[in-house]
Amino acid sequence: MAIPIINNWQSYFEHRDEGRGSSYERVILNDILMEIVQRHGVRTALESPSFGFTGLSGINLMYLAKEGVRVSLEDHDETRLMMIQDLWQEAGLPLQSAFNPDYKRLDYSDAAFDLGFCFSALWFCEDLASYLQELARVSRHCIFISVPNRMGLGYKSQLKDYTPEKYPYLKPAHIDPASVINILKGEGWEMVESSLFDCPPWPDIGMSKEDFLRQKLGIKLPQNASTEAATPLCIMDYYLDKDPGFAKRMRRLSFVEKHAPEAFKRIWAHHYYMLFIPQS
């Protein structure tokens, strides 16, 4: 969930150290998406909104682009949009990008994209129904929507930091799966798959473990105890072909993901996804 991303997203473009948590999450998400791409013949995809995730913004579909999917992307911050464009240019990958102030309207033709995609970003949409109706209109084969696992211990601990005054642009009510399912059903889409995922062997703390111990648990650590001293982790090195073993190393941490019972995942997994296809 990582509510603090609202305040410090720029820093990731400077140091690019996403940490182990986001690095693992990206690889698991890539594996899920590639299976969907192959199953549904996805050749074009739209990510809107593109912001709502710890780490570097705007690269959630970069792996699909490397596999030949034509990606379009929208963001509501023009500065961040330019920084995202620079990342894609650095990777040598094509990207169609657009500024969208509130996501009430997606300025594309009907069924313009095989895949409509939203990852942990619904709470930045000004009007949930308008956004989902538009996403349904511009999507052709499938819609993938992921939200934070609201049953998870990590989500509940991070939500303590939320107030409408502190985060006026964040709308937690929008990440309710039942609301998403109901709205899309009304637009002629049915949910055919759902699952808890991103279930590594560590909790969803949304910050470095050192900061968590200091700020949340009040444990005093040596001043030099910092993740900055550790080897930086960033999936961009993998996308730039500088670290070919990156994904394999992250998958070694997936033993909880693969073997934990559903009851455990309900309190431990970081995300929950829903896959929709047009009603037959």
Q: Cα-flanking dihedrals φ and ψ of residue 247, to 5°?
A: -65, -40
Q: Is the C-alpha dihedral spanning 266, 117, 137, 41 positive or negative?
A: negative
Per-residue model confidence as pLDDT tens digits over 151-204: 998 888 877 778 888 888 889 999 999 999 999 999 999 999 999 999 999 987
The answer to whether the beta carbons of residues 76 and 99 sit under 8 Å apart is: yes
User: Which helix (H) or strand (E) is 264 found in, with range?
Assistant: helix 262-268
Whole-angstrom distance, CA of residue 16 vs CA of residue 1:
19
- Domains of the chain: which residue ranges? 5-278
Residues 6+ apart with CB under 8 A from 164: none
Locate tokens 């019972």: which residue?
261
Please report, as a single letter, which amino acid is at residue 172.
P
The confidence score (pLDDT) of residue 210 equals: 47
At 32-79, the pLDDT tens digits run 999 999 999 999 999 999 998 778 999 999 999 999 999 999 999 999
According to the model, what pLDDT value does residue 155 have? 86
3-class SS of residue 224: coil
In this prediction the pTM is 0.91
Structure tokens at 278: 């047009």
Of the candidates 73, 148, 143, the one whose C-alpha atom is nearest the C-alpha of residue 114 is 143
Task: Express each pLDDT in 203-231 by its tens digit.
Answer: 876 545 444 434 444 545 455 544 444 67
- Fold of the domain spanning 5-278: Rossmann fold (3.40.50)
Amino acid at residue number 23: S
